């Protein structure tokens, strides 16, 4: 099939590249001509494992092209995906201006029947507004499909090519068959396409993220209780995760969730509820627990050093909101570092991929280091924020030699408390008793 994808951000670029890799001809469109030139030169604006190789391979074969010419792309395509950003306003509502501008532009340049597919995350009811916007610009027939994405940053290529499910929100059976054909190459082992109406498809995206965020906040709230009552959250996690009705996914206690999806989608869902006089009490509570979790962890570090904060240097491992991404949007690390800086602390930080994006958020206030061990030079404590694999099994002899004090704050529960106690560390983690060093 001939496909165009409007928007070359995280979702659009992954979708376009993966569709091309499955044999379709894909045109990716963006109004940013500088970005298009870089993509044509195989310069990928985001870090996502496996994505660069797919883009390079499919540009070479000619199945994947990039352009700023929307009219040409739409007129050469049967299916047009909308994958532009939906920024969040201060009140939690979603700004649909870019979506509606693109819908209007598509309507103006259509020269025949098209299937318009919404890949961006949009509030429930957007299908009506977009359809009306297109209809006002053209007499040509079209069908609208809601096809939300369920991609995890750091595993987006795997998620797209081997999806848990593909949600198709459409009312025309003929369009459903077109979408089945489009996704057929990703469904070789079993059928995982779910057909529903567009409004339900839109809600499914928000409900999925809200459920996952709630699980994280639930575990963080239980972790706080564990600390006060002497229980171990890791044991509790194994205990409840083994229940088949609950499962083990997203039950890890930590410094809270971040990124581009959960915080924005939770706020949007709360806003949607408010707009129809249906308070989203549980979702609002999950949102507040997440914000509190960040503050509590940062405050624990600050309180440990007390009046000597302005004489303290911290080594920070991890700036991205999670491993395998360079995304620092709503990152707990960025929020905590800002609190540390306000107290006069000096920060030496390292992240395998996110230092450039973090620099945009933090400016020159933080010293970015060449590797994790360089960040330890002259530091009074180590603070771990991101669960990169290389942080899971570090060389503790090097850590001991470089740190001024054997103090470690672990926001991801990566290490064994008893092992660190034997190594002489003061170890503070999430939902487990603080460990004091064992004396020989």
Catalytic residues: 261
Q: How far apart are CA 409 and CA 173, in angstroms?
A: 55
Backbone angles phi, psi at 322, to 5 degrees: -155, 170
CA-nearest of 197, 393, 215 to 290 is 215
Helices (H), 111-172: 126-135, 156-161
d(CA 198, CA 171): 8
Contact call for residues 92 and 81 (beta carbons, < 8 A):
no
The residue behind tokens 């409840």 is 240
Torsion of CA 130, 133, 139, 141, to 10 degrees: 0
Structure tokens at 127: 């299908």
Instruction: Report DSSP state, residue 435.
Output: B
For residue 411, the 8-state DSSP code is T
Q: Is 15 exposed, middle or buried (0-12, 13-18, 19+ CB in 10 A)?
A: buried
Where do the H-state alpha helices sit in 230-331?
Answer: 233-241, 262-275, 281-305
Per-residue tokens: 77: 């395509």
What tokens appear for 139 in the block?
Answer: 């007499």
Contact assessment for residue 374 and residue 364, using Cβ atoms and an 8 Å cutoff: no
Return all residues near 407 (Cβ < 8 A) that are at least 6 apart. 304, 380, 381, 382, 425, 426, 428
Query: Phi and psi (nearest 5°) for 156?
Result: -65, -40
CA 181 vs CA 24, 196, 198, 312: distances in Å: 11, 17, 19, 59
Token pair listed for 390:
């290389």
Distance separating alpha carbons of residues 92 and 270, to the nearest angstrom = 8
């Amino acid at each position: 099939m001939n496909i165009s994808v409007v928007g070359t951000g995280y979702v659009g670029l992954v979708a376009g590249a993966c569709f091309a890799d499955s044999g379709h001809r894909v045109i990716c469109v963006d109004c940013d001509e500088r970005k298009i030139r870089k993509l044509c030169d195989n310069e990928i604006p985001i870090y996502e494992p496996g994505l660069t190789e797919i883009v390079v391979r499919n540009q070479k074969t000619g199945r994947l092209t990039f352009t700023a010419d929307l009219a040409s792309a739409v007129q050469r395509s049967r299916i047009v995906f909308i994958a532009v950003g939906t920024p969040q306003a201060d009140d939690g509502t979603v700004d649909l201006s870019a979506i509606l501008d693109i819908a209007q532009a598509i309507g103006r340049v259509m020269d025949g029947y098209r299937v318009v597919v919404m890949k961006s995350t949009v509030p429930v009811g957007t299908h009506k507004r977009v359809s009306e916007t297109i209809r006002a610009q053209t007499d040509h027939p079209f069908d609208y499909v809601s096809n939300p994405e369920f991609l995890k940053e750091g595993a987006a290529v795997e998620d797209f090519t081997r999806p848990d499910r593909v949600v198709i929100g459409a009312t025309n059976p003929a369009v459903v068959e077109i979408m089945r054909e489009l996704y057929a190459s990703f469904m070789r082992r079993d059928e995982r396409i779910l057909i529903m109406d567009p409004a339900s498809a839109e809600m499914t995206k928000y409900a999925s993220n809200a459920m996952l965020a709630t699980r994280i906040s639930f575990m963080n709230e239980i972790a706080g209780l564990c600390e006060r009552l002497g229980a171990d959250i890791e044991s509790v996690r194994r205990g409840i995760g083994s229940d088949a009705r609950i499962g083990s996914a997203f039950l890890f206690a930590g410094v809270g969730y971040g990124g581009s999806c959960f915080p924005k989608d939770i706020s949007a869902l709360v806003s949607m509820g408010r707009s129809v006089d249906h308070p989203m009490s549980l979702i609002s509570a999950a949102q507040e627990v997440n914000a509190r979790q960040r503050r509590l962890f940062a405050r624990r570090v600050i309180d440990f050093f007390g009046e000597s904060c302005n004489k303290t240097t911290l080594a920070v491992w991890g700036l991205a909101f999670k491993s395998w991404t360079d995304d620092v949007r709503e990152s707990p690390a960025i929020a905590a570092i800002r609190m540390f800086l306000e107290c006069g602390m000096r920060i030496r930080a390292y992240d395998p991929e996110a230092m450039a994006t973090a620099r945009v958020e933090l400016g020159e206030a933080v010293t970015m280091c060449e590797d994790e061990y360089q960040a330890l030079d002259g530091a009074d404590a180590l603070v771990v924020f991101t669960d990169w694999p290389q942080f899971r099994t570090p060389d503790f002899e090097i850590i001991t030699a470089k740190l001024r004090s054997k103090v470690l704050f672990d926001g991801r529960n990566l290490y064994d408390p008893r092992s660190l106690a034997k190594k002489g560390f003061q170890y503070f983690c999430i939902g487990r008793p603080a460990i004091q060093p064992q004396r020989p």
